[in-house]
């Protein structure tokens, strides 16, 4: 069984994995895009119904995540740790399970306590996730995220009522700083969610959701005679 250190070293040097489609990794195993699966069958959001992640797939996921986060070592560290924890979680056998307890504890301490990023190991995330700054990001474990998604700082993806009442984020979606997506909504492929937007309804593919900026014109405060202005 590979050690954690060996896997992490491999992730930084492996250009890809033979026999694995680097561009359609999740489609190979699910037949259709991960976001489409979840929107048609809510049970597929259940993190207990997880896929088995092979070491070759893990290598490709790490490589694509690195490519999406060039020049952002913190984001690369978070995502490599996330993928590694998922690999150990999906494997069977006593040694893998015991190692997973160590890996997931280290992952939580690193990401949640030190870096302020909450991405549960059970979350289903496609390859090529880009974390811009990656501060204050909170994601529910039942959220489903497609490939090549960009998430900026202070983004929240969560539920409204039940634990599985969570968003499905399509491929190539961009989430602006401070954006919040709540409830069982679907954000279509290549949609853009503006900074500070609160999304509680479906967003179509290539759609744009934003919060209007309201600028109020108010009169200047009246200055009493003989009193200096502030």
More reliable by pLDDT, 218 or 28: 218
Q: Is the pLDDT of residue 41 over 50?
A: no
- Tell me how crowded residue 222 is: count the other CB atoms within 10 A of its CB: 5
**Residues whose CB is less than 8 angstroms from the CB of residue 131 and which lie 6 or more positions away in sequence, other chains included:** 69, 72, 75, 78, 79, 117, 137, 151
Helices (H), 91-192: 94-108
Average pLDDT along the chain: 78
Please state, in angstroms and rounded to a whole number, the distance separating the CA atoms of residues 75 and 59.
17
Half-sphere exposure of 76 (CA within 13 A, CB side): 14
Please state, in angstroms and rounded to a whole number, the distance separating the CA atoms of residues 150 and 222.
47
Give the confidence band of 88 by pLDDT, cuts at 50, 70, 90: confident
- pLDDT, one tens digit per residue, over 132-177 is 988 899 999 999 999 999 999 999 999 988 777 899 999 999 999 9
pLDDT at 162: 74
More reliable by pLDDT, 227 or 163: 163
- pLDDT, one tens digit per residue, over 42-82 is 444 444 345 577 889 999 999 999 999 999 999 999 999 99
pLDDT at 6: 52
**Residues whose CB is less than 8 angstroms from the CB of residue 147 and which lie 6 or more positions away in sequence, other chains included:** 25, 26, 33, 34, 126, 127, 128, 171, 172
Helices (H), the chain: 4-11, 25-30, 34-40, 55-68, 73-90, 94-108
- Specify the range with the lowest mean pLDDT, choosing from 9-23, 62-76, 87-101, 124-138: 9-23
More reliable by pLDDT, 145 or 100: 145
pLDDT at 16: 42
Distance spanning both ends of the chain, measured CA to CA: 70
pLDDT at 134: 82
3-state secondary structure of 139: strand
Contact assessment for residue 70 and residue 76, using Cβ atoms and an 8 Å cutoff: no
Give the mean pLDDT of 213-220.
53
Domains parsed from the chain with CATH numbers: 4-209 (2.160.10.10)
Percent of the chain residues past pLDDT 70, beyond the cut = 70
């Amino acid at each position: 069984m590979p050690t954690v250190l060996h896997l992490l070293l491999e992730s930084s040097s492996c250009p890809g994995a033979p026999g694995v489609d680097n561009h359609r990794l999740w489609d190979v195993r699910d037949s259709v895009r991960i976001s489409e699966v979840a929107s048609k069958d809510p049970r597929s959001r259940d993190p207990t119904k997880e896929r088995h992640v092979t070491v070759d797939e893990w290598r490709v996921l790490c490589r694509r995540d690195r490519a999406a986060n060039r020049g952002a070592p913190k984001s690369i560290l978070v995502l490599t740790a996330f993928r590694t924890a998922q690999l150990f979680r999906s494997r069977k056998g006593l040694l893998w399970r015991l190692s997973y307890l160590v890996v997931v504890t280290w992952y939580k301490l690193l990401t949640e306590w030190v870096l302020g990023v909450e991405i549960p190991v059970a979350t289903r995330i496609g390859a090529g996730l880009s974390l811009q700054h990656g501060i204050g990001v909170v994601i529910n474990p039942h959220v489903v995220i497609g490939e090549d998604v960009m998430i900026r700082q202070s983004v929240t993806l969560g539920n409204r009522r039940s634990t599985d009442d969570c968003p499905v984020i399509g491929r190539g979606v961009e989430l602006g700083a401070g954006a919040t997506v709540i409830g069982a909504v679907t954000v279509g492929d290549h949609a853009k969610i503006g900074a500070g937007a609160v999304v509680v309804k479906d967003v179509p593919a290539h759609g744009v959701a934003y919060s209007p900026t309201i600028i109020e014109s108010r009169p200047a405060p009246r200055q009493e005679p003989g009193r200096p202005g502030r």
